[in-house]
């Protein structure tokens, strides 16, 4: 946490409400996102209890697993979820634009121009918290290797037809969410804490209710953010239930023990009574009992998810009030490419993502994430003075006024301009000898070299007064002897230079998987076309 | 339960039957070790007074110890845990109840899993121990291994019974290379002058006479890896058991070796089948041992209390709060996940305007300034010495932030 963030948090404590941590919105928000508020059963990995899902704020779909241990009921839930999520994803697949790109010709090896499809827009999945993102990954892992009856008639518990496909998409969204700045799958707590600094610790910011209480406390004369957050965290009604249910997917133990467990027990009793029914008339009455028990569990799940559902949409409203940052469309394009590429993989019948990546794929993913992190850091700083302020405080950027420009030239046959500019700044950049600094010139980075620096007042007050930094501009001035118009700052201009690159490049290209070096396990041995499904144990039906 | 509160489960570490909670009367504490602290009867008397009349001691468990070791500077926690005060009841009496609890679904599932792992005379468990930790050892006989009966009355009795079983297991291993499985043994570890009784899920004695701690957890190991935070917590907990076992081993002749690689048993993927992984706890053991050694001795903290101080939950909240306040606490947001009293400490820290409510890192970069008002005054140039690097950095930060917000 940088000192500026700490300061913002302290000011939030004093003010009783959250303070801005960004002046613009740094993440893409879709016009029509799909919101998913899932709940799971305690003690079991990825056993869904229910969910509210949908694109329409006023009409969420409620999905419930009345007995979370029952494999068949779980399958029904997943099939219903697939029927909502997959049509949403597919609605983005056909609207494409053609983009020209360069590609190595497989025969000649020459670079040739090809036209590729890029989806005009991509889906966006919003979950309440980071644990929700983890659940999407987990559901992806648990379903993508499942076999449908069509794929394998022998399988003990065949998956409904579209469930393995849902697993592949969830896995893709989960993987993409690990790329810094990517917006296909977002957690509302992450989005909000990126843009606001609350008066509590980042650990406590993981609670969506408390976080929103700080950002948007109820009413002007109402409780302060701290009081509202405390109520969201701990407030309970007369029956001992939390007033603001946790955003999940884990439920409150008091809810499990006092409300859910008895309801599930009633459901189980109704079900065994129905199974033991002797004649049709009795069965009708017992069936009514069973549906009543099922409805009761459904209402319980709705009562725990609806407040979170509202909170997520409220959070979206708050975020939409912020203007979008300049580089957001550029990063969203990366998400569109990611979506398009996975659409193509699915269409071409590739097998589901493997359980564990091979060495080259893993290295590529890591290299990509590092590159994207550097890019995100740079772009956020360029888009947002508040983010830049933290970099300035850290000595990674400086802002100042140009007080002198001296023209110099290279000593070659065709001299090129190398103007020396002197910048007067109050910042304290960490400039090493011949360090490169960058500024944005019409959206493109211009590079300068650090020549020297001195205190303006001759060093009487070390570390306090303004600094005079001399830089030599080295590029983006055109081809002629004289620099192109506007490419060199003039005296009196206010300029911002950064020590970090604006468009950081990745490392060297990694070898193809077939050429994995022996140090990394060698080329992958011929993988089986479809990884085996997870074994099913009887204990799942307790 | 709030999302970030994983919370200690009541009473014990992992899934499994509740341990014998009926810790003996305070008067018998310390009988475990013949070498109890000097003046132990007086201390026991003092701690009994602190708990209040008729309140029995709540035994310390490994989870609490691991959490205590993570925040060794907190005297409040050391004293309350050391004296066996029921912090859940105390927190409720103070009006800041701990939101911890365990879902019965998790409990049932954990039970079923542990029973499965230990079923069939521990055959599956021993197979995992041998496979992961000791592949060169002979296979346990088909009938399973020796599984001594450890039942006894009270924690002291169970501790004695465990020590005896370990002694016999050493002899059996030396004689005919037998495997021994101790199911829920009880160990004692002296912490800040008071003994804590610990109950590992299992301890295995190998044919070569070495001992292994087994932790059975109900979070899944997915494609060979598990949640790092949960594995870390399990390792810290196991390290406490290793320390306690080393205590027992030191009193045997020859002294058996306690392995520093423990066995973590988890459900495999989405099933209820066990899989296991060896976890090296040398680092956690060293850290815990050092932190536990640093804990200010409970008697020293108790000596600073006003005479007649008492933490009985039946006392009026105001008086309780006063007594609790008289013991120094070190609150950090991490406490929220591990300490029942954390919400009380947090509200006090907020009232006092302490910057630690934002976390340890915030505290670290602010130098000597520890109050919200002091920091803000220094940042806005109303107070503080500009020559202090922390104050200078704050003023620059405040100036930069204002400048950035102004150009919105």
Instruction: Say which residue, B95 or A182, is predicted with more confidence.
Output: A182
d(CA A178, CA B373): 38
Cα distance between the two ends of chain A: 46
Q: Which three-class secondary structure state does DSSP give residue B160?
A: helix
A385 and B404: CB-CB below 8 Å?
yes
B224 and A7: CB-CB below 8 Å?
no
> Which residues in chain B (247-286) have CB-CB distances under 8 A to chain A?
267, 269-273
Residues A343 and A407 in one domain: no
Q: What is residue A505's predicted lDDT score, i.e. its pLDDT?
A: 83
Residues A161 and A72 in one domain: yes
What does the mean pLDDT of chain B come to?
82
Residue A480 per-residue DSSP state:
S
Mean pLDDT of B18-41: 38
A10 and B376: CB-CB below 8 Å?
yes
User: Looking up tokens 């303004």, which residue turns up?
Assistant: A466
Q: Which tens digit of pLDDT belongs to each residue from B131-187?
A: 999 898 888 877 668 888 888 888 889 999 999 999 989 888 888 888 999 999 999
| Tokens matching residue A112 | 């040739």
Q: Choose the mutation target among A7, A251, A262 for the interface with B, i.e. most B CBs under 10 Å.
A: A7
d(CA B178, CA A69): 40
Interface check for B91 against chain A (CB to CB < 8 A): the answer is no
A320 φ/ψ sector (left φ>0, alpha ψ -120 to 50, else beta): alpha
Write down how long chain A is: 542
A43 and B270: CB-CB below 8 Å?
no
Question: B273 near A535, Cβ under 8 Å?
Answer: yes
Question: B361 near B368, Cβ under 8 Å?
Answer: no
Question: A64 near A37, Cβ under 8 Å?
Answer: no
d(CA B341, CA B91): 5
Residues A336 and A444 in one domain: no
pLDDT of residue B11 exceeding 80, the answer is no
Residues A326 and A408 in one domain: no
Residues A226 and A163 in one domain: yes
| H or E element in which residue B321 lies | helix B317-325
Q: What is residue B40's predicted lDDT score, i.e. its pLDDT?
A: 57
Q: What is residue A459's predicted lDDT score, i.e. its pLDDT?
A: 54
Domain region containing A90: 3-95+124-249+305-357
Q: Is the dihedral of CA B282, B286, B291, B297 positive or negative?
A: positive
A chain contacts of residue B219, beta-carbon cutoff 8 Å: 45
B394 and A3: CB-CB below 8 Å?
yes
Of B103, B343, B362, the CB nearest to A256: B103
Q: Which residues pair with A495 in a beta bridge?
A: A400
Question: A398 near A469, Cβ under 8 Å?
Answer: yes
| Tokens matching residue A516 | 């994995």
User: Looking up tokens 């132990």, which residue turns up?
Assistant: B40
Question: A78 near A170, Cβ under 8 Å?
Answer: no
| Tokens matching residue A10 | 């302290």
B357 and A200: CB-CB below 8 Å?
yes
| Tokens matching residue B153 | 């009355």
Instruction: Say which residue, B392 or A152, is predicted with more confidence.
Output: B392
| Tokens matching residue A333 | 């394009």
Q: Number of Cβ pairs closer than 8 Å across A and B?
A: 177
Of B2, B108, B404, the CB nearest to A386: B404
Question: Which of the four pLDDT bands, split at 50, 70 and 90, describes residue B66?
Answer: confident
Residues A402 and A353 in one domain: no
Among the listed residues B342, B101, B32, the one whose alpha carbon sits nearest the alpha carbon of residue A257: B101
pLDDT of residue B17 exceeding 50, the answer is no
A535 and B408: CB-CB below 8 Å?
no
CA distances from A335 to A16, B229, B387 (A): 37, 30, 48
| Tokens matching residue A256 | 């499990």
The ipTM, to two decimals, is 0.87
How many H helices and E strands in chain B? 14, 7
Chain A nearest C-alpha distance from B1 (Å): 4
A4 and B400: CB-CB below 8 Å?
yes
- HSE (CB half, 13 Å, CA atoms) of A134? 14
- HSE (CB half, 13 Å, CA atoms) of A505? 3
Residues A314 and A445 in one domain: no
d(CA B228, CA B231): 5
| Tokens matching residue A170 | 């969830």
Q: What is residue A526's predicted lDDT score, i.e. its pLDDT?
A: 62
Question: Which of the four pLDDT bands, split at 50, 70 and 90, describes residue B41?
Answer: low
Interface check for B176 against chain A (CB to CB < 8 A): the answer is no
Where are the strands (E) in A373-443, listed by range?
397-406, 420-425, 436-441
Interface check for B241 against chain A (CB to CB < 8 A): the answer is no
B405 and A386: CB-CB below 8 Å?
yes
Interface check for A243 against chain B (CB to CB < 8 A): the answer is no
| Tokens matching residue A441 | 């010139």
Tell how strand A185-187 and strand A125-127 pair up: parallel
Q: Which three-class secondary structure state does DSSP give residue A451?
A: strand
pLDDT of residue B5 exceeding 50, the answer is no
A42 and B350: CB-CB below 8 Å?
no
Chain A nearest C-alpha distance from B29 (Å): 34
Which residues neighbour B266 within 8 Å (Cβ) at sequence distance 6 or greater? B216, B217, B218, B219, B220, B221, B226, B274, B275, B276, B277
Where are the strands (E) in A248-350, listed by range?
none
Q: Is-cis flag, bond preceding A249, omega within 30?
A: yes
CA distances from B87 to A16, B55, B60, B90, B195 (A): 30, 12, 11, 5, 18
Interface check for B223 against chain A (CB to CB < 8 A): the answer is yes
Interface check for B136 against chain A (CB to CB < 8 A): the answer is no
The residue ranges of chain A whose pLDDT is under 50 are 539-542
User: Looking up tokens 């407040």, which residue turns up?
Assistant: A307
d(CA A347, CA A370): 29
Residues A353 and A475 in one domain: no
| Tokens matching residue B84 | 């066996």
Question: A380 near B404, Cβ under 8 Å?
Answer: no
Residues A70 and A197 in one domain: yes
In a domain, residue A507? The reply is no
> Which residues in chain A (253-272) have CB-CB distances under 8 A to chain B?
253-254, 256-257, 261
Count structural domains, chain A: 2
Interface check for A393 against chain B (CB to CB < 8 A): the answer is yes
Which residues neighbour A120 within 8 Å (Cβ) at sequence distance 6 or greater? A92, A95, A96, A97, A336
Q: Which residues pair with A295 in a beta bridge?
A: none
Instruction: Say which residue, A400 or B291, is predicted with more confidence.
Output: A400
Residues A176 and A62 in one domain: yes
Triad B228, B233, B234: Cα angle to 5°: 95
């Amino acid at each position: 946490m940088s000192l500026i963030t700490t300061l913002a948090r302290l000011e939030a404590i004093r003010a009783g409400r959250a303070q801005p941590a960004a002046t613009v919105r740094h993440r893409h928000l879709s016009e029509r996102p799909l919101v998913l508020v899932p709940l799971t059963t305690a003690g079991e990995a990825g056993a869904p209890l229910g969910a509210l899902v949908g694109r329409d704020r006023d009409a969420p779909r409620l999905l419930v697993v009345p007995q979370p241990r029952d494999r068949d009921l779980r399958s029904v839930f997943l099939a219903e979820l697939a029927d909502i999520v997959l049509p949403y994803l597919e609605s983005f697949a056909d609207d494409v634009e053609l983009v020209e790109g360069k590609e190595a010709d497989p025969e000649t090896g020459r670079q040739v121009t090809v036209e590729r499809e890029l989806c005009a827009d991509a889906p966006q999945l919003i979950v309440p918290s980071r644990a929700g993102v983890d659940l999407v990954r987990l559901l992806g892992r648990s379903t993508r290797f499942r076999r449908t009856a069509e794929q394998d008639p022998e399988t003990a518990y065949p998956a409904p037809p579209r469930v393995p496909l849902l697993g592949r998409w969830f896995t893709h969204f989960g993987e993409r969410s690990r790329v810094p700045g990517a917006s296909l799958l977002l957690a509302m707590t992450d989005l909000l804490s990126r843009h606001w600094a609350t008066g509590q610790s980042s650990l406590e910011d993981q609670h969506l209710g408390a976080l929103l209480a700080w950002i948007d406390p109820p009413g002007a004369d109402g409780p302060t953010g701290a009081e509202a957050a405390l109520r969201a965290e701990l407030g309970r009604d007369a029956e001992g239930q939390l007033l603001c249910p946790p955003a999940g997917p884990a439920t409150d133990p008091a809810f499990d023990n006092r409300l859910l467990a008895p309801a599930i027990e009633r459901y189980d009793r109704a079900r065994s009574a129905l199974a033991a029914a002797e004649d049709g008339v009795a069965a009708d009455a017992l069936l009514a009992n069973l549906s009543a028990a099922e409805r009761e569990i459904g209402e319980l799940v709705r009562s725990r998810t609806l407040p979170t559902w509202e909170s997520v949409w409220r959070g979206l409203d708050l975020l939409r009030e912020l203007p979008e940052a300049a580089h957001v469309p550029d990063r969203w394009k990366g998400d569109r490419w990611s979506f398009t590429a996975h659409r193509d993989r699915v269409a071409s019948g590739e097998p589901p993502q493997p359980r564990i990546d091979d060495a080259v794929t893993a290295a590529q993913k890591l290299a990509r994430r590092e590159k994207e992190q550097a890019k995100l850091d740079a772009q956020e700083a360029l888009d947002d003075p508040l983010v830049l302020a933290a970099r300035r405080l850290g000595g990674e950027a400086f802002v100042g006024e140009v007080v002198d420009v001296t023209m110099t030239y290279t000593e070659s046959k065709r001299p090129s301009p190398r103007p020396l500019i002197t910048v007067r700044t109050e910042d304290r950049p960490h400039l090493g000898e011949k360090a490169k600094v960058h500024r944005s010139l019409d959206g493109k980075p211009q590079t300068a070299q650090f020549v020297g620096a001195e205190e303006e007042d001759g060093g009487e007050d070390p570390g306090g007064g303004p600094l005079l930094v001399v830089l030599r501009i080295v590029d983006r001035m055109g081809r002629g002897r004289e620099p192109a118009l506007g490419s060199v700052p003039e005296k009196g201009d206010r300029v911002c230079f950064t020590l970090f690159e604006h468009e950081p490049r990745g490392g060297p290209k990694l070898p193809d998987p077939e050429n994995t070096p022996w140090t990394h396990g060698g080329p992958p041995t011929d993988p089986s076309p479809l990884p085996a499904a997870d074994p099913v144990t009887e204990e799942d039906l307790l | 339960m709030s999302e970030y509160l994983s919370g200690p489960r009541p009473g014990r570490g992992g899934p499994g039957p509740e341990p014998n909670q009926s810790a003996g009367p305070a008067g018998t504490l310390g009988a475990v070790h013949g070498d109890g602290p000097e003046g132990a009867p007086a201390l026991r008397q003092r701690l009994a007074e602190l708990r209040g009349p008729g309140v029995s001691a709540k035994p310390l468990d490994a989870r609490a110890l691991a959490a205590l070791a993570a925040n060794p500077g907190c005297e409040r926690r050391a004293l309350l845990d050391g004296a066996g005060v029921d912090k859940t009841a105390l927190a409720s009496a103070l009006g800041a109840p701990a939101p911890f609890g365990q879902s019965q679904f998790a409990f049932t599932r954990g039970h079923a899993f542990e029973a499965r792992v230990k079923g069939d005379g521990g055959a599956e468990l021993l197979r995992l121990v041998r496979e992961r930790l000791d592949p060169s050892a002979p296979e346990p006989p088909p009938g399973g291994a020796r599984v001594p009966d450890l039942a006894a009355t009270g924690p002291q009795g169970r501790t004695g019974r465990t020590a005896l079983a370990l002694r016999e297991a050493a002899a059996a291993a030396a004689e005919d290379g037998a495997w021994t499985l101790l199911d829920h043994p009880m160990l004692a570890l002296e912490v800040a002058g008071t003994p804590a009784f610990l109950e590992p899920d299992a301890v295995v004695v190998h044919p070569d006479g070495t001992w292994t701690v087994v932790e059975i957890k109900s979070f899944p190991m997915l494609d060979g890896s598990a949640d790092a935070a949960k594995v870390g917590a399990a390792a810290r907990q196991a390290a406490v058991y290793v320390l306690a076992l080393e205590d027992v081993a030191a009193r045997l002749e020859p002294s058996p070796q306690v392995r520093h690689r423990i066995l973590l048993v988890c459900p495999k993927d989405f099933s209820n089948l066990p899989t296991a992984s060896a976890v090296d706890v040398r680092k956690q053991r060293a850290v815990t041992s050092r932190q536990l050694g640093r804990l200010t001795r409970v008697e020293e903290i108790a000596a600073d209390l006003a005479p007649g101080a008492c933490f009985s939950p039946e006392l009026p909240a105001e008086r309780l709060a006063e007594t609790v306040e008289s013991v120094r606490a070190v609150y950090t947001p991490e406490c929220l996940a591990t300490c029942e009293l954390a919400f009380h400490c947090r509200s006090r820290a907020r009232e006092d305007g302490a910057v630690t409510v934002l976390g340890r890192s915030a505290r670290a970069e602010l130098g000597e300034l520890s109050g919200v008002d002091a920091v803000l005054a220094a940042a806005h140039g109303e107070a503080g010495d500009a020559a202090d690097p922390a104050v200078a950095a704050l003023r620059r930060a405040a100036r930069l932030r204002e400048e950035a917000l102004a150009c919105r």
